[in-house]
Homo-oligomer: A and B are copies of this chain.
Amino acid sequence: MNKERLIFLTNDDSYMSKGFRAAVELALEFGRVVAIAPDRVQSGMSQAITINSPLFMREVEAPEGATIYAFSGTPVDCAKIAFDHVFAERKPDLVLSGINHGSNAAINVMYSGTMGAAIEGSFYGVPSIGLSLDDHAADADFEGAVKYGREIIAAVLAAADRLPRPLCLNVNVPRMAVDDIRGIRLARQTRGFWREDFYARQDPHGRDYFWLTGAFQNAEPEAEDTDEWALAHGYVAVVPVQTDMTDYGMLGHLSNVIK
């Protein structure tokens, strides 16, 4: 244990989730922990920020070595107030976001509040890891996520000085008994997107409502270098994430179209 290290912890399932509590214990193995996590579920909040309303923070109970704040903002708000207010004097050595209840592989990286916060943390030059388990259940078994999360955190901290910045990892752990997990694979983001099948009903007052429900359409299920393939075959998938969304290939196609 290196108690000199400082770990910033956040997530999107709120400070009350089982995955968050598992992450607190995991992060404490690596140093002192300061956590700022949403005070309610903020799943699917992506890179959302709160522009038009004030935000409130309160300290909640924490194990020794950790300080935990519940914050009324989005996951990205949590990362922003951590780096631009709480950590004004000393930057943390690592950002850990999670452990998320549910996979953030493939295009989920864009919808995920967990990954939103991890990405935001990486902007500040600190290695960031978003850690997710492919199981949405509130009482999911985080043993595999903790074991492989520990391994990946240790590797990143050991190599931090020689890895470029920004450094952000999207780590997804398959839902299986820890001993059945076959190891870790570096991967790229799987191509594909969600098609929704809106659940349409009437509320007790006779008003129509819609509820989002859908399924991921994997555009390349056979591609062995993707995160979805890794998860489907019992591996932990690690995808490094960057935020230049420019479609460089399209720039060439557009040069004769838009002048």
**A interface residues (Cβ-Cβ under 8 A, vs B):** 41, 43-57, 73, 76-77, 80-81, 84-85, 107, 109-111, 113, 116, 119, 123, 152, 155-156, 158-159, 163-164, 167-168, 184, 186, 188-189, 191, 193-198, 200-201, 203, 207-212, 214, 238-251, 253-255, 257-259
Contacts and interface: CB of A to CB of B under 8 A. Distances in A.
B208 A257 contact: no
Given A240-B250, A251-B188, A111 B56 contact: no
10 contacts: A47-B47, A50-B212, A54-B209, A54-B211, A56-B207, A56-B210, A84-B197, A163-B254, A163-B257, A184-B258
Contact of A238 (B167, B197, B258): B258
Given A48-B45, A257-B156, A208 B245 contact: no
Nearest to A160: B257
Contact of A210 (B55, B194, B246, B258): B55
Do most interface residues of chain A lie in helix, strand or loop, or is the interface mixed?
mixed
Given A123-B193, A255-B186, A44 B48 contact: yes
Contacts of A197: 84
Given A57-B210, A80-B194, A84-B195, 10 more contacts: A43-B51, A44-B50, A47-B111, A56-B208, A80-B214, A110-B243, A186-B251, A188-B251, A189-B245, A242-B250
Contacts of A52: 41, 43
A52 B40 CA distance: 12
A84 B251 contact: no
A175 to B, nearest CB: 19
Contacts of A47: 46-47, 110-111
Contact of A81 (B188, B193, B196): B196
Across the A-B interface, give the 10 residue pairs with the lowest CB-CB distance, nearest first.
Answer: A240-B250, A242-B247, A54-B209, A240-B247, A46-B46, A46-B47, A123-B193, A84-B196, A188-B246, A44-B49
